[in-house]
Structure 1
Amino acid sequence: MQNRYKERMNIALGFIEANLDKPLSLHAVASACHFSEFHFHRLFSALMGETLNDYIGRRRLERAINRLAYRREQSITEIVHELGFSSSANFAKAVKAFSGYSPSAIREPDEEHKSKIGKLLSKYGKAFSPADLYPACTRSALTGKSITRDITMNSKEVEIRQLEAQQVCVLATTQGYEQQGIFDTWDQLIAWASAQGIAPAQQARYAFCYDNPAVTPIEKCRYEAAVVIDPSVEVKAPFRTSTLPAGKYAVLRVKGNDEQLNNARLALYAEWFPGSGFEPDNFPLLERYHNDVREDGFVDLEIHIKLKSLS
């Protein structure tokens, strides 16, 4: 029964993500996942650890901050309208109250910008700095300050692949991006896949990474481990089935430590996308793993970002 509640809560979260640019009422969200609206707000708070309104407000502002950093071709006014804020003044007030920084300070990070304590820190305990949204070389260009720990994004390193749809078995971590929680989740999923006759060496392993930890508190980040399966394989709770959709993906292979991986993710958004002719589709960042960091001491993975033509 608990797993059925989680499945329906995942439907609610998907509905919220798809409609963050619109007014979201308790009735609309509860109806989408077939819960009684008279009880849904209590169920949501119990399962998610925050109220529905707090969750929607946080996700809307996290998306706004990511747009400010990674869609630099858009004006702040365009972002205001696209995300459904009533005015630029209300947008600026909401962003600063949440992050401690104004929209312009997030878009043009500078040590001289002074922050106030925002809700990210006071409510969620998440220290935030706009500079963390950008890779080292981009921070250097934006601030005019020399940063020795530099990286470059060579467009030839990024491959555009047309992928076919694949069915996957998914298990969500209950601890956000906390490392041990991710390891425990993968251990369960790998053991399950092995029991279905998919040997570890033959398992195609992906992760759905929904959130940017530079903005979202680590424990609130959504992470799902996934293994490709044949559609005939029976999947039972706590596991569930999902689909890697067909389409074009930007693919970048990264080998190194966590810092190098994080800089590669940021560089894709901050440097590669603006000149690519594409923008990210409405699908979470995927990581395909080629090794076990616990055994090798380094990560070897491919970042996959689903694409759509720049509108």
Structure 2
Amino acid sequence: MNKTYKARIENVIRYIEANLDARLTLTDIAEISHFSPYHFHRIFSGIMGETLNDFMSRRRLERAVNQLIFKPDLPITQIALASGFSSSANFSKAVKLHFGYSPSELRNPDKVQDSKIGKLFSKYGKEFQPSDLYPSRITTDVMNQTELKDTTMKIEVRDLERKSVCTLASPKGYEPDGIYAAWDKLITWADNHGIKPQDQQRFALAFDNPTVTPLDKCRYTASIVVDEGVTVNPPFELAEIPNGKYAVLYYKGPVEETINAQLSIYSDWLPDSGFEPDNYPLMERYLNDAREDGYVEMEIFVKLKEI
């Protein structure tokens, strides 16, 4: 992919994410990209694999559903208006059309009787059940296997200093082959720049919730801590992990169960913590190589701010 095109589209994504509650026009967004409005739509669709309108609609709904689940005290109408919808009725219709379930059904999956097939499956091929959003619904066997009851009790609030990192995005979202391809390239880059594999501090930024976002649409960035002033050339990028307070959960277990550990921070710990998530993606620090060991050992970080 042309590096200039990729950088311009990434600027557009950041702009949209910061303004999901606003009325964004094609002209406004095309101006951010520095592409002509006549061609921007085709360029965006070609690179992202979905139209601009589909992307913005999906991201608004995904953010809104995360708020429905993790902020149960917020009225549905308030979430609807904050997500850019003109009314709760329009919001409910859009949620039902996309997910196959209404907002009230997502908040009360025990009352779900039936549902229509939403766009999430018909357009993206993603199976979706409201119960998947709630880690408390994990079966006893899975809980015992992954020891999540113990890990959720090991959350600590930690002050983290700012870190410079060299990053590389997964080309296929959360798809395992995309993630491993990004890590292989980044680990090799670090080794070639004097950071031996055993000395590498490896962090990943996980921007999306895979229970509501198709895996290939989830954004995942591999990162390795580097010294200040290091030179980084494309396709790698220089970024930083901001300083601040983070909730940190130690997890060791099957890779496929990490989502349950992540969600437990939001559903079980945050409500009574005195904090809320800051505007920064969930972060993972890897302590082993899952491909060699057959399990993952890591720390899960959620950046915090006081309520």
TM-score (normalizing by structure 1): 0.92
Indicate the residue corresponding to 2:65 in structure 1. Answer: 65
- The answer on whether the counterparts of 1:206 and 1:227 sit within 8 Å (CA) in structure 2 is yes
Deviation larger for 169-178 or 31-40: 31-40
Q: 2:152 and 2:251 mapped to 1: Cα distance? A: 14
- Counterpart in the other structure of 1:54: 54
Q: Using the alignment, how far apart are the partners of 1:156 and 1:174 within structure 2?
A: 35
Give 4+ residue runs of structure 1 displaced > 3 Å after superposition. 146-156
CA contact (8 A) 2:152 2:249 kept: no
Tell me if structure 1 keeps the 8 A contact 2:151–2:251.
no
> Residue 235 of structure 1 corresponds to which residue in structure 2?
232
Deviations 1:126-157 (A, max 9, x none): 1111111111xx238xxxxx855444377651
Match for residue 137 of structure 2? Answer: 139
Kindly indicate whether the alpha-carbon contact (under 8 Å) linking 2:105 and 2:111 is maintained by their aligned counterparts in 1. no
Q: Who is 1:36 aligned against?
A: 36
Moved more, 110-119 or 203-212: 110-119
Q: Does 1:255 align with 2:252?
A: yes
Coordinate RMSD, CA, aligned: 1.7
Instruction: Give per-residue Cα distances to partners, 1:109-138, cap 9 Å, x unaligned.
Output: 126431101000111111111111111xx2
Following superposition, the deviation at residue 35 of structure 1 comes to: 2.7
Distance in 2, matches of 1:258 and 1:168, equals 24
Cα distance in structure 1, aligned partners of 2:172 and 2:93 = 31
Quick check: 99-108 or 19-28, which moved more? Answer: 19-28
Task: Determine the structure 1 residue equivalent to 2:106.
Answer: 106
Cα distance between partner residues in 2 of 1:26 and 1:248: 38
The percent of aligned pairs where both chains have the same amino acid is 53
Taking the aligned partners of 1:109 and 1:157, their CA distance within structure 2 comes to 29
- Of 149, 155, 160, the residue aligned with 2:157 is 160
Secondary structure of 1:110's counterpart equals helix
- The answer on whether the counterparts of 2:152 and 2:264 sit within 8 Å (CA) in structure 1 is no
Cα distance change of structure 1 residues 111 and 147 upon mapping to structure 2, 3 Å threshold = farther
- The normalised TM-score by structure 2 is 0.94
Cα separation, 2, equivalents of 1:222 and 1:13: 11
Pairs within 5 Å for 1:154-303? 156-303=153-300
How far 1:259 moved relative to its partner?
Answer: 4.0
Letter in 1 for 2:31: S
CA-to-partner distance for each residue in 1:71-120, whole Å, 9 max, x for gaps? 11212122112212110100100000000000011011126431101000
In structure 2, give the amino acid aligned to 1:139.
R
* C-alpha distance 260-220 of structure 1, shift in aligned 2 (>3 A): closer
CA contact (8 A) 1:153 1:272 kept: no
Aligned AA (1:208): L
Q: How many angstroms apart in 2 are the aligned matches of 1:287 and 1:86?
A: 36
* Structure 1 gaps, min length 5: 141-145
- In the alignment, is the contact (CA less than 8 A) between 1:95 and 1:103 conserved in 2? yes
Quick one: structure 1 residues 112 and 55, their matched pair in 2 at CA, closer, same or farther if it must change by over 3 Å? Answer: closer
Shift of 1:258: 2.2
Instruction: Give the match's secondary structure for 1:152.
Output: helix
